[in-house]
Structure 1
Amino acid sequence: MSTTEPVPVSLAEIARIAGVGRAAVSNWRRRHDSFPARIGGTDAGPQFSLAEVEGWLRENGKIDGVAGRELLWPRFEALGSRDESGLAVAETARRMGSPRTPTPHTELSPHAEKVVSEAVELGLSEGPRETFEFLLQRWLETHVRQLSTTPPPLAALMARIALEARLGGDDRELTVLDPACGTGHLPAALVRESPVSRTVVAACDRDPTLAALASARLDFVTEGDDARTEIVTADALRRDPFPGETVDIALCNPPFNERDWGYEELATDPRWTHGLPPRTEPELAWVQHLLAHLRPGGVAVILLPPAVASRRAGRRVRGALLRTGALRAVVALPPGSAQPHSVSLQLWVLRATPGDPDAAPPARDALLVDATRFARSGPRESGPHWEALRSFVLSAVELLDRPETSPPDGAVRVPLIDLLDDEVDVTPGRHTAVNTEPSGPELAGAWRDTAGLLTDLARRARRLSELEFDRRPPRTTVAIGELVKAGALSLRAGQQPLEGTTTAGNPSVPLLTLTDLLSDNGPGGFVPAESAAVIAERGDVVVAGVLRAFEAWVHEGPPTALGPQLYVLRVDPTKLDAHFLAGCLRAPSNGRRAGSHASTSSRVDIRRLRVLQLPLEDQAVYADAFRELEGFRSRLGRVGETGSDLVDDVTDLLAAGRPTG
C-alpha cells in the first residue's frame, strides 16, 4: 500500500501498528540509525512517512501480515477533513457490499479514491464488515469531540425497552424510525434485539456524512436478514422526510439545547398535538415528532437531558403528555451513560393510544425509575454497571401495564394527579426513594462478615511478618522481551473490539478494558468470541500497561477478551510459574522502570519488565509468598469496603434516633 504523497504517522500510531507501547517506538528510534527520519511535526510530536515506517517495521521483524487495518487507517486520516474521511469510509463499505439501500455514489477526490480502492482490496481479503467496523470505530474515535454517539449498551437498552412496552402490532414485521440517527447506533441495536423476522428501518440525519455512514452500517447489520432500510439526509423537524408514515417503534438521541430548531416556521405544525413547544424546549419538539409517527400502541424511547423533566417553560406540554397517557415512564440514568458524561440523562418512554382499548388499562399513573445508583465509582468516569442497570430497568418497565404489581425499589408509580401540579416535574429522583436501611439480621450478618475478614487478615499478617529480608545486592533478572525470545512465554496485546460487537445481552465472552480497571470493576461489556482479538484463559498472566492502573495477576475466571493496553502472557509451565511471574511483574518499581516517562498516564513497555532468574522449584516458594501477599491485599480492600458500609449504616441509624438501648 503506497500513495503518491507521504502519509504522516505519529509515534503513537506507529506503536498501534506494531502492537507495542510508545516507549518501545521511542527506543527503536534511539537505538537504530536506520529508523525513518522525521518528515514533519514537532520535536515533542514528530511525524514520519507511513510507507517508510511500514518498510522499516517489516525489515526488522516488528510486524507481520495482521497489521493491514492499522496501516490502512492513517491513509484515511491523511485525507484531512472529517467529512471527506467519513464519506470515504462509507464509500468503502458501499463498494465492498451489495447495499440494499439506495446509497448514491459519493464524489471523492483522486486521493480519496485511491485510499478507498486500497481499503476495498484489503476488506475483500480480511472481511468487508470487519474492515468497515474497524474504519468506522477509528473515525469515531478521531472525531469524538465533534460527534455525539449512543454507546452500544445504552442503544441496546433503549431498543429492549421499546420492544417490552409496545402493544399490538405485526409479529412478523417491525417498522422502526430514527429521525436523528447519527451513524446508526439506535436502529442497528433495534435490528439486533428484535425477535421478528422482518424489520423495516426509516432513518435520517441532517449531516450527509453521518447519514452515509448509518446507511453503510445498517446494510451490514441487516445482511442476510429480511430487512429494508431507508436512510436519507434531512432535518427531520423542519422538513420531515417521512410525512404521514407511522411505525411500531421510534428511537432517538436528538441534539440537545438547540435554540434555532425552527420555532417560528413550525408554529402551526400539526405535529404539536400536545401544545406548541416553547422556543427554549427543542427536546419537546422531538418528543412530539416521534409521537406523530407512532401507530396505535407504538412506542418511542428518547434520550433527553434531565432539565427537560422540570424546566418551567415545558410544564404545559409535559402536563398534556401525562393527561393523554402518552408519557408512560421516565428513567433516570447514571452519569456517564452517554455524552455529556457528567449529566444524569433520562429516557422518556412514550406510547400512542392503542387501537384496542382492552390492550392496556387506561393510564392513571406514570412509572418513574431512578437508576442513578448503578454508576461506577472510580478515579475516572467510565459508564455504569451496564448489566445491573439493564436488568433493573427492564424489571421495572415490564410492569408498565401491570398496576397490581409493585415495581422494584428505586421505581415508583406516581398517580397523575400528584404529577399534575404547578411544576409538573417528572424527575424520578424527586418521587423515588430506595430503601437501603439494613434490617437487624442484615446488620448482624455484616458485623459477622467484618469480624471474619479481620480474623483472616490478622492470620495472613502474622504469616507474612515472618518473612525476613537482607540488604544484599538484588539477584539477576531477565526482561520479558528476552523470555519471549527464549520461548518461555508468549506475549499478546489486547485490542479494541470491532464497533458494534459489544452487547448487553446474550454475551459470548466478557470484555475487560482499562476503564474497568480504573473503576475497580470487573468486565463492563461483552463481545462475541470470534470478534475478540485476544482472550485471556485460566492460568494466563494479565498485565495492565499504564502506570495509573499498573497491575499483573493470574487470570482465574472464564475466558475474557482484553481491550487496548492490556496484555496476556501465556507461560511455558516447564520454565515459569505463572504466580511467580505475576508477582514479580506487579512490583511498583518494575512498572516505574519500564514506564515511558514519570507521569501516571505513561505507558509501560511490557517487554522491559523484569523477572527474577530462578529455577522452577525456587519459583514455587516465591509464588506461595506472592499469593499470600495478594490475598492480604484483597482482604484489606474488602475490610475497607465492608467497614465503610457498616459505618455509614450505623451512622444513619444513630442519627435517626433508632438505638433501642
Structure 2
Amino acid sequence: MSTAIAVPVSLAEIARIAGVGRAAVSNWRRRHDSFPSRIGGTDVSPQFSLAEVEKWLRDNDKLKDVGGREFLWPRFEALGSRDESGLAIAESARRMRAPRARIAAPDLSTEARELIGEAARLGRSEGPRETFEFLLQRWLDTHVRQLSTTPPQLATLMARIALGTRLGEDDGGLTVFDPACGTGHLSAAAAQVHHGSDLTLLGCERDPALAALASARLGFATEGRDVSVEIATADALRDDPFADLRADIALCNPPFNERDWGYEELATDQRWTHGLPPRTEPELAWVQHLLAHLRPGGTVVVVLPPAVASRKAGRRIRGSLLRTGLLRAVVALPPGSAQPHSVSLQLWVLRAAPQGSAAGPASQDALLVDATRFGKAGAREPGPEWEALTDFVLSAVAELDKPESALPEGAVRVSLLDLLDDEVDVTPGRYTASSTEPSRVELAASWDDLTGSLTELTNLVQHLSKLDFEGGEPQTTATVGDLVKAGALTLGAGQQPSDTKTPDRDTAVPLLTVADLLMDGTPSALLAPSAAQTVAETGDVVVAGVVRAFKAWVHEGPPIALGPQLYALRVDPEKLNAHFLAGCLRAPANGRQAGTHASSSSRIDIRRLHVLQLPLEEQAGYAETFRRLTSFEQLLTRAHHLGKGLVNDVSDRLAAGGLTAGR
C-alpha cells in the first residue's frame, strides 16, 4: 500500500494491526535490527512510519488475518484535522453505497480525496457497513474528549420509552426528530426499534462533520427499508430548518451548560410558551424547542443534567410544564450512563395532549423513577447494568397512564400539589429516598449473587485443594535483577511527576500511586505524557514496592503512568510468562525476604525479589494456578462484602416487621 504522506503509528497501533500484544511489538523492536526506526513521538510513546511497518511485518511474516481496515485508519488519523477526517469517513461511506457519486465536500485535501477512493474500494470488498462502522468508532474513540455521544443501550432505551408512551392512532407512519443529532445514535436506535414501514428520520446538527457522519450512519441503518432521512446542518435553536415540523416522537441528547445559546436574539421567540429560558438554563430552551415540534399525542424523551430538575432559575418553566400536564416522568440514571460519566443524568419524558383533548388536569400526578441503584458497584469504569436498568425503567414507565396500578420499588407517583411548591424540584431521589430498605427483588438478587460466588468458591476449593507439592531440595530461582541482566525483562521505576500544569485531556494518561492502591486501586489523577515517566502498557507486570501495599499484577487496559514506589516489568514473551512472573513476585515470603520491614512504609528492593526458574512451556501451568488463586482471593473478598451487606439488610427488614415465612 502506497501512502502519499508520512503516516505515523504507535506501538499500540502496530500491535493492533499485527493482532498481537503490545509487549510482543516491543520485543520485535528490541530483537530485530531491521525493525523500522522511530520517526517521531517520544521514548515513552514512539511513532513509526506506517509504510515501513507494513513492509517489515509482511517481510517477517508477522501479519495474521488482518483486514485492510487496520492499515486504513492511521491514514485517516494522519489527515490531522478532526473535521477533515470525519468528513472523509462520511464521504467514504457515501462512495461505498454509490460508487459513481461525486465527492460532496469540495474543501477536502488531495490526500483525503485519494483516501476516500481507497476506503470506498476496501468497503465494497470487505463490507461497506462494517468498514464504515469500524472507521466511525475509531474516529469517535480518538476524539472522545471533544465529542459527546449517546451509548447504544441508552439510545435504545429512549426510543423504546418514546414509542411506548406516545398516544393517538398509528396510521403506519412515524416521524422521528432529533435537533442535536450528533452522529445519529438516537435516530439509528429509533429505526432499529420501530419495525413498521413509512419511517421518516429528521435531524439537525450544527457541526458539518457530525451531520455528514449521521447521514452516512442512517443510510446504512435504514438500507433496504422504506425510510426517508434528512439531516440538516444548522444551529437548531438560532436557525431552525424544520420550523413547520410536527413529529410523532422527539429524541435528544442536547449540549449541556452552553451559555451562548442565543438568549439575546431569541428573547421574543414563539417557542417559549412556558417562559423565556434564563441564560443559565439552555437545557430548558431545548425542551421547549422539542415540544414546539411535537404533534398531539407525541412524546419527547430528552437527556438532561440533574441540576435542571432543581435549579432555582428554572422553577417557573418546570412549574408550567407540570401544570399543563406536559412533563409526565423523570428518570434518574446511574452515573456512567452517558457523558459526563461522573454525573447521574436524567431522562425527561414529556407528552403533548392528544388531538381534541385539553391539557392535563391540575390534579395529575408525575411519575418519578430513581434508577441510580443499577450502577456497577465498585467497578473501575462507572456504568449501569444495562439489562436490569432497561427492564426496571420500562416496567415503571409502562404504568404511566395507569394511576391505580402498582409501581416497582424505586418509582413513585407524586401529585402536582406536592411538586408545585416553592422549589418545584422534580429530582426523583428526593421522593424515593424515604424508602431505604432493600426491596424483595434486591434481596433475592443479593442472595443469588452470594450463592453464585460461593459456588465459584467451592469449585476453586475443589481444584486448589488437590494441589500437591514434591518434597526434596528447593528448585532454583533467579532474582529480578538477574532476569534484567539476562534480557528476560526490562524494569522501569515510577516517579513523582515534575510537571504541575493541567494536562491536555486528549493526550493525558491516568497516574496510579501507592495511595490509590490503598484506597480502591483507581487512579486519582491525570498526567501529561513524558519521556521521564514510566508508563505500564497492557501485559506489563506492575509491582508495588512498599510493605503496606505490596502486590504484583498483570496490567490490563489502557496505558497508565506509575508514581513513586511502583514498578513496571516488561517481559520477553519468548522467555517469561507475565502471569507466572506476577504470581511468583507477589508471594508473601518473597516480599518479606526482599524488604526490611522496619515499618509499614518500608520499601521492598524489587531487584531482590525471586522468580522460579522454569522452561517457558512449564510456566503456563503455574500461571493458570496463580490466576485461580487470585480469583479465589477476589471471590473471598466479594463473598465477605455480600454476606455482610445481607446481614445488615435482612436485619433492617426484620426490625421493621412483616415477617411472613421462615420464622
TM-score range, shorter chain: 0.7 to 0.9
1:256/1:282 contact within 8 Å kept: yes
1:87 corresponds in structure 2 to 87
Query: 1:211-252 CA distances to partner (integer Å, 9 max, x unpaired)?
Result: 011011110101011100000110000111101110001000
- How far is 1:277 from its partner? 0.9
- How far is 1:106 from its partner? 4.4
1:640 corresponds in structure 2 to 640
Q: After TM superposition, list the pairs within 5 Å mapping 1:6-21 onto structure 2.
A: 6-21=6-21
Distance 1:225 1:453, change over 3 A: closer
> What letter matches 1:306 in structure 2?
P
Query: 1:521-571 CA distances to partner (integer Å, 9 max, x unpaired)?
Result: xxxxxxxxxxxxxxxxxxxxxxx957689789xxxxxxxxxx999xxxxxx
2:437/2:652 contact within 8 Å kept: no
> What letter matches 1:91 in structure 2?
E
1:273 corresponds in structure 2 to 273
1:189 corresponds in structure 2 to 189
Query: 1:180-231 CA distances to partner (integer Å, 9 max, x unpaired)?
Result: 0011111011100113222101101111111011011110101011100000
How far apart are the structure 1 equivalents of 2:619 and 2:283?
64
How far apart are the structure 1 equivalents of 2:274 and 2:415?
20
TM-score normalised according to structure 1 size: 0.74
What SS does the corresponding residue of 2:145 show, helix, strand or coil? helix
How far apart are the structure 1 equivalents of 2:655 and 2:407?
29
Query: 1:264-314 CA distances to partner (integer Å, 9 max, x unpaired)?
Result: 111111111111111111100000000000010000100000000000000
What SS does the corresponding residue of 1:612 show, helix, strand or coil? helix
1:156/1:189 contact within 8 Å kept: yes
1:503 corresponds in structure 2 to none
309-318 or 110-119: which moved more?
110-119
Query: 1:485-505 CA distances to partner (integer Å, 9 max, x unpaired)?
Result: xxxxxxxxxxxxxxxxxxxxx
1:331/1:368 contact within 8 Å kept: yes
What SS does the corresponding residue of 1:423 show, helix, strand or coil? coil
2:250/2:294 contact within 8 Å kept: yes
How far apart are the structure 2 equivalents of 1:362 and 1:225?
43
Q: After TM superposition, list the pairs within 5 Å mapping 1:461-610 onto structure 2.
A: 464=465, 467-468=468-469, 470=471, 472-473=474-475, 587=580, 589=582, 610=616
How far apart are the structure 1 equivalents of 2:312 and 2:623?
64
1:296/1:353 contact within 8 Å kept: yes
How far apart are the structure 2 equivalents of 1:378 and 1:78?
38
How far apart are the structure 1 equivalents of 2:467 and 2:263?
76
How far apart are the structure 2 equivalents of 1:250 and 1:625?
54
What SS does the corresponding residue of 1:223 show, helix, strand or coil? coil
> What letter matches 2:278 in structure 1?
P
1:274/1:320 contact within 8 Å kept: yes
1:319 corresponds in structure 2 to 319
1:436 corresponds in structure 2 to 437
1:547/1:592 contact within 8 Å kept: no
How far apart are the structure 1 equivalents of 2:363 and 2:152?
31
How far apart are the structure 2 equivalents of 1:146 and 1:609?
48
How far apart are the structure 2 equivalents of 1:420 and 1:142?
45
- How far is 1:338 from its partner? 0.6
1:253/1:302 contact within 8 Å kept: yes
How far apart are the structure 2 equivalents of 1:289 and 1:645?
46
2:501 corresponds in structure 1 to none
How far apart are the structure 1 equivalents of 2:158 and 2:305?
15
> What letter matches 1:393 in structure 2?
V
How far apart are the structure 2 equivalents of 1:215 and 1:102?
16
- How far is 1:176 from its partner? 0.6
1:414 corresponds in structure 2 to 414
1:199 corresponds in structure 2 to 199
What SS does the corresponding residue of 1:268 show, helix, strand or coil? coil
1:515 corresponds in structure 2 to none
Distance 1:459 1:187, change over 3 A: closer
TM-score normalised according to structure 2 size: 0.74
1:139 corresponds in structure 2 to 139
2:57 corresponds in structure 1 to 57
How far apart are the structure 2 equivalents of 1:465 and 1:424?
64
2:541/2:578 contact within 8 Å kept: no
1:171/1:196 contact within 8 Å kept: no
Distance 1:631 1:65, change over 3 A: closer
What SS does the corresponding residue of 2:465 show, helix, strand or coil? helix
> What letter matches 1:293 in structure 2?
H
> What letter matches 1:436 in structure 2?
E
Is 1:612 equivalent to 2:612 in the alignment? no
How far apart are the structure 2 equivalents of 1:305 and 1:469?
62
- How far is 1:380 from its partner? 1.5
- How far is 1:44 from its partner? 2.2
- How far is 1:463 from its partner? 8.1
How far apart are the structure 2 equivalents of 1:104 and 1:428?
47
- How far is 1:626 from its partner? 8.6
1:590/1:609 contact within 8 Å kept: no
1:464/1:628 contact within 8 Å kept: no
2:580/2:619 contact within 8 Å kept: no
- How far is 1:638 from its partner? 5.2
What 5-or-longer segments of structure 1 have no aligned partner?
476-518, 521-543, 553-562, 566-583, 599-607
1:307 corresponds in structure 2 to 307
1:178/1:204 contact within 8 Å kept: yes
How far apart are the structure 1 equivalents of 2:414 and 2:259?
32
How far apart are the structure 1 equivalents of 2:54 and 2:647?
58
Q: Percent identity of the aligned residues? A: 65
What SS does the corresponding residue of 2:124 show, helix, strand or coil? helix
How far apart are the structure 2 equivalents of 1:43 and 1:546?
17
> What letter matches 2:9 in structure 1?
V
Q: After TM superposition, list the pairs within 5 Å mapping 1:109-128 onto structure 2.
A: 109-128=109-128
1:201/1:229 contact within 8 Å kept: yes
173-182 or 55-64: which moved more?
55-64
Query: 1:316-371 CA distances to partner (integer Å, 9 max, x unpaired)?
Result: 00000000110000000000001110000000001011115499998710000000
2:91/2:104 contact within 8 Å kept: no
How far apart are the structure 2 equivalents of 1:355 and 1:23?
65
- How far is 1:66 from its partner? 2.4
RMSD: 4.0
How far apart are the structure 2 equivalents of 1:195 and 1:92?
28
Distance 1:313 1:88, change over 3 A: same
- How far is 1:41 from its partner? 2.0
Distance 1:133 1:422, change over 3 A: same
What SS does the corresponding residue of 1:4 show, helix, strand or coil? coil
What SS does the corresponding residue of 2:34 show, helix, strand or coil? coil
How far apart are the structure 1 equivalents of 2:7 and 2:463?
61
How far apart are the structure 2 equivalents of 1:77 and 1:114?
14
What SS does the corresponding residue of 1:73 show, helix, strand or coil? helix
How far apart are the structure 1 equivalents of 2:287 and 2:615?
55
2:539/2:578 contact within 8 Å kept: no
Is 1:364 equivalent to 2:364 in the alignment? yes
What SS does the corresponding residue of 2:432 show, helix, strand or coil? coil
1:31 corresponds in structure 2 to 31
> What letter matches 1:283 in structure 2?
E
Distance 1:315 1:216, change over 3 A: same
> What letter matches 1:47 in structure 2?
Q
1:572 corresponds in structure 2 to none
1:438/1:649 contact within 8 Å kept: no
What SS does the corresponding residue of 2:251 show, helix, strand or coil? strand
What SS does the corresponding residue of 1:75 show, helix, strand or coil? helix
How far apart are the structure 2 equivalents of 1:624 and 1:12?
26
1:107 corresponds in structure 2 to 107
Distance 1:547 1:331, change over 3 A: farther
